[in-house]
Amino acid sequence: MRTADLDVLFSKLSRLFSDGPQAEVFSRLLPHAVVRLAAGRPVTPVELAAATGRTAAEVGRLLQQLPGVEMDDAGNLVGMGLTLRPTPHRFEVEGRSLYTWCAFDALLFPVILGKTVRVRSPCPGTGAPVRARVSPAGLEELDPPEAVVSLRVPDTFENLRGSFCGFVHFFRSAAAAADWLRSRPDAVVLSVDEAFALGRRLAYDRFGVGSS
């Protein structure tokens, strides 16, 4: 895409993750949640409270109010972008097999974690997998090299997994995404490098990566 188009997409994404109190809370908790979920186990409200300067009761209450957040029966966090529960998007970090809610998460989280990961996700157009090795600095491997990422930015933060994540996939090529796009005129496709660049910019702008 043209740089101007990427700037527009970034502005929409940044606005999405600051769209009201829920979005602001999600943005503040997300990096702490992702770092702890990457260990491959549920995260207690006490752990998140210690990381964010809130009380455990407050964190537990906030998590229950956030759209799409996954909790276990004990009230621990098991999914917030990065999840312990299987999805189509496999995310391997330091030998642990985890999952993400969408393709964009799989490109964003290496920046938040500061770690290199392997990603495997099926192309909705062909059923065949897209594989990538992603570092905090960018793509190191991509198979096939012509793979793309679909993206649709909703107007509001409500139902994040349904209105945003449900439209963000890896496709093996732009041609493989063509039929999918025809029925979703408000979606676009980006190269995987472009999608990574958007994620990295968002990590610094909205999710506090690099801040003291």
Residue 105 is among the residues annotated as catalytic for this protein: yes
User: Does residue 194 lie in a domain region?
Assistant: yes
Distance between CA atoms of residues 8 and 137, nearest Å: 22
Query: What is the domain extent for residue 64?
Result: 3-205
Q: What does 48-69 look like in DSSP terms, one character per residue? A: HHHHHTS-HHHHHHHHHHSTT-
210 assigned to some structural domain: no
pLDDT at residue 2 greater than cutoff 50: no
Q: What is the CATH number of the domain that holds 145?
A: 3.30.450.410
> CB under 8 Å to 175, separation ≥6 — which residues?
none
C-alpha gyration radius of the chain: 16
Tally of CB atoms within 10 A around 187: 16
Catalytic residue selected from 105, 123, 143, 186: 105
Q: Which residue out of 7, 72, 143, 165 is catalytically annotated?
A: 165
pLDDT for the residue 89: 98
Asked if residue 148 belongs to a domain, the reply is yes
Name the amino acid, one letter, at 25.
V
Structure tokens at 135: 């570092």
Active-site residue flag, 102 = yes
Count the domains in the chain: 1
Q: How confident is the model at residue 4 (pLDDT cuts 50, 70, 90)?
A: low
Residue 69 pLDDT more than 50? yes
Q: Judge whether 28 lies within some domain.
A: yes
Is 212's pLDDT higher than 70? no
Q: What is the pLDDT of residues 72-92, one digit of tens each?
A: 999 999 999 999 999 999 999
pLDDT over 70 for what percent of the chain? Answer: 97
Domain-embedded: residue 211: no
- 123 noted as active-site residue: no
Residue 140 located in a structural domain? yes
| 176 occurs within a structural domain | yes
**In a domain? residue 49:** yes
Instruction: Please identify which of the residues 7, 19, 73, 102 carries the catalytic annotation.
Output: 102
